[in-house]
Amino acid sequence: MARPLLLNGFMATGKSTVGRRVAELEGVPFEDLDDCIERRAGASVSEIFESVGEAGFRKLEQAELERVLASDARRVVAVGGGALLSRELRLTALERACVVTLEAPLEVILTRVAGAPRPLLAGPDPASRAAALLDARRAAYAESHARVDTTHGDVDQAACAVREAWQRDPIAVAAGEQSYAVEVGHGILHQRWPALLGRTTGTLLVTDANVQRAQAEALGRLGAGARLFVLDAGEEHKTPRALEAVWRAALAADLDRGGTFVAFGGGVVSDITGFAAATWMRGARWLAVPTTLLSMVDASVGGKTAVDLDTAKNAVGAFWQPRAVLCDTALLATEPERGFVSALSEVVKTALVGDAELLAVLESQAEAVRSRAPAALREVVHRCVAVKARIVSRDEREHGLRRVLNLGHTLGHALEACTGFRQYTHGEAVALGLVAALQIGQRLGVTAAPLCQQVTDLLARLGLPTDLARSPIREAVDHLAHDKKRQGTYIHFVVVSAAGRPETQLLPIEQLRRLALASLSRRTDLVK
């Protein structure tokens, strides 16, 4: 809760009134951005509009908001209804502050603004103008950490809801009107579950046999009033047949378009359940409650859903964002050691692509992380989710930036496929893929040798495999042509120049094969 709070939303939704009340309850300063602009300009908002127009006002507004975001001081700031229309500025705000959108129906807004000077509603038909503005801004307002309804004008009730959202310190995944928040905490599942589930015409709770045994108590409490469906556990069961089984369970549960799928389990459960929701009744609501470290830091966030087709991993799928994600790190207490340790490769990958400080945290707190200390786990999960949310928010459908999340996965997936998804866990394969990617980056002249050694040593210290000579790399390279990142005879391959500085290179598959095989040798003077 160290971040400032920004109250966003359309005019007359109560931002200033509610903001002052929240600030009073928290004992922190309150600022109204319009008041700040007026003081700095020496003129009212109406006068500024008259003299420099909306474009001139927006420049003043952006400068004032950038001043606010430059400081992490705890305070409450009510922003104008158009202050966060610039998407890049909005994404920056979502990273540096907690953004809560206040909402009210158009008819309520029109009643509240009647007779008040509103430059944007000037003209013969303010109602039509307000409706057009509200519709144009709908996606921007949805990109927030929480949304609070102020229809009934109960200031204390709205302030309580806003304050609660601020205290939870969620992470926002900005995806237009499909935006959602990820909550990370220890022991928060049953406290937050009723609010996250919300109104639904029915619930299909999907898990797997392993999780059913390990989390029987939690499932019993979550499953009250829901239809439970149990999948076979393991990547080898992430198939179209499993997807069909979930569809049939939804049919048996009479789940309609107002129903909710809940994925309670690891990455396989999340992938299958999310894809089932994406295709059920042409798109149904779903929630993710990850129970493994891998699914918390990776699979449950970002809206990638899929099943495997023979040896082609994640070949059939869809982008379909969940309505919410709840990461309760207390659930990790029952995760088997191998699965937990395996997921640490994804944590290392995340540090390499987007958080250099996380790499330092892992090196200084490796033992605490391995022993699943609650504070260390919460920090690791929160940092990983924040990195992924930042990347996904800028590239939801993997047209460019999001590809960096595939660091270590090109050869990792190939290792999984060539061994029938049985010899390695996903995380173990990714660990080997990371070592290979770092060595390939070194041969390409991108990655420095000390970073290769640093990460390889860290992976080993965390209990992950790093010896490429003992892996079936020679067999794995034959599966590169099936990689979903392939573009004709080329593959988008991710390397890193430093922690937090990834880049993607379009490499011919044949060159990548040679570089991968060369990684079996410690020599770096081989021909590229």
The domain locations on the chain are 5-169, 180-335, 398-518
- pLDDT above 70 covers a percentage of the chain that reads 98
Res 312: pLDDT: 81
Domain 5-169 has CATH 3.40.50.300: yes
Per-residue model confidence (pLDDT) at position 481: 79
CB 131 within 8 A of CB 168: no
Residues annotated as catalytic (active site), given as ranges: 282, 304, 346, 388, 398, 402, 406, 409, 413, 426
> At 377, which helix (H) or strand (E)?
helix 374-394
Would you say the CATH fold of 398-518 matches that of 5-169?
A: no
Confidence of residue 8 (pLDDT cuts 50, 70, 90): very high
Q: Kindly indicate the confidence band of residue 263, based on its pLDDT and cuts at 50, 70 and 90.
A: very high
Rounded to a whole number of angstroms, the distance between the first and last alpha carbons of the chain is 50
> Does the pLDDT value for residue 19 go beyond 80?
yes
Whether residue 395 has pLDDT greater than 80 = yes
Q: Hey, what are 466's tokens?
A: 């790093």
Alpha-carbon distance 147 to 98, whole Å?
Answer: 11
Contact predicate 324/181, CB 8 Å = yes
Q: Residue 225: pLDDT band by 50, 70, 90 thresholds?
A: confident
* Distance (Å) of CA 424 to CA 84, 207, 312, 315, 429: 45, 22, 16, 19, 6
- In degrees, to the nearest 5, what angle opens at C-alpha 165 toward C-alphas 369 and 343? 25
Cβ atoms of 118 and 11 closer than 8 Å: yes
- 180-335 — its CATH code? 3.40.50.1970
Q: What is the pLDDT of residue 487?
A: 79
- pLDDT (mean) for 242-268: 96
SS3 of residue 101 by DSSP: strand
CA distance 318 to 181: 20
Assess whether pLDDT exceeds 80 at residue 282: yes
Closest CA to 261 of 305, 295, 217, 294: 305
Q: What is the pLDDT of residue 525?
A: 44
Per-residue pLDDT tens digits for 111-167: 998 877 788 888 888 899 999 999 999 999 999 999 999 999 999 999 999 999 999
Looking at this protein, which amino acid is placed at residue 195?
A
**Strand stretches in 213-293, DSSP E:** 227-231, 260-265, 285-290
The helix/strand/coil state of 226 is: coil
> What's the average model confidence in pLDDT over 160-181?
96
b/e map 167-193, b = 16+ CB within 10 Å: ebbbbbbbbeebbbbbbbbbebbeebb
Second CATH level (architecture) for the domain 398-518? Up-down Bundle (1.20)
Asked whether residue 245 carries a pLDDT value surpassing 90, the answer given is yes
- 3, containing H or E segment: none
79 neighbors 8 (Cβ within 8 angstroms): yes
Residue 461 in this model has a pLDDT that exceeds 70? yes
